[in-house]
Amino acid sequence: MLDRQLERSFPDISAIRDPNIRELCHAQWRYVSAHGDPSHTDIEKLPIHPSLPVARYGALASHVRGQMEISKVLVPFAKREWKVELDLDHFLACALVHDSAKVIEFVGKDGELVATPGFDHAAEGAKIALTVGFPKEVAHMIAVHTYLGPRRLPRTAAAQLFQFLDPICLPVFPEGGKGAVERHLEANGWSVPPAPPAVA
């Protein structure tokens, strides 16, 4: 069901040149729709996390649109300035499916959406990607997209750049409490170092 909403929510899907890769994006969303919580019927209502209300932080779809838009700038930039060849199809597809396992992770409980404890949506998303037939390069990008320091080391330029693209497209800023960097440190059990003395 959610897979039928991809074209409407993500017009940049038409920029994926390989029709097979485009079809695999649909296949991955079909898979999570079939295996996920049936309460997820509208892709624009799926949050980035149950603790981040859509009204304030935007939907997961907005996070994905940001990654697709920046990828369209980043990939030609890397080629022009660094002579680094990245596959735009892989970036766009990875953006589209990297968080799709959240459809399985986020479940309705007592009328509220909650995250399943211990569910690793990056690892699950990568497993599903391989199951539906994505190339292993894309599965690796998905597997390491969440920054977990030494536990999730990217092995390719594409995976490294996509890992940084993930928090860029997260509108969680220090002005509103804990910013994305602080949240990542906490999620990894790393203490936040004391701030350096203020400069007068």
Q: Does position 99 bind Fe ion by CB under 5 A? A: yes
- The CA–CA distances, whole Å, from 97 to 177, 190, 195 equal 29, 28, 37
Whose tokens are 């203490």? That residue is 191
Q: Which is nearer to Fe ion, 28 or 146 (CB)?
A: 146
Task: Give strand ranges (E) for the chain.
Answer: 106-109, 112-115
* Piece in contact with Fe ion (CB under 5 A), picked from 11-19, 34-42, 97-105, 154-162: 97-105
Tokens of 157: 């330029």
Task: Give residue 119's identity as a one-letter amino acid code.
Answer: F
What binding mask, one character per residue, do residues 118-157 give for Fe ion by CB under 5 A, x or -?
----------------------------x-----------
Q: CB of residue 27 vs Fe ion: minimum separation in angstroms? A: 19
Task: Give strand ranges (E) for 27-145.
Answer: 106-109, 112-115
Number of residues that bind Fe ion (CB under 5 A): 3
Q: Contact at 8 Å (CB) between 83 and 77? A: no
Q: CB of residue 194 vs Fe ion: minimum separation in angstroms? A: 29
* Piece in contact with Fe ion (CB under 5 A), picked from 15-23, 103-111, 112-120, 159-167: 159-167
Q: Does position 3 bind Fe ion by CB under 5 A? A: no
Q: Contact at 8 Å (CB) between 49 and 121? A: no
Q: Does position 105 bind Fe ion by CB under 5 A? A: no
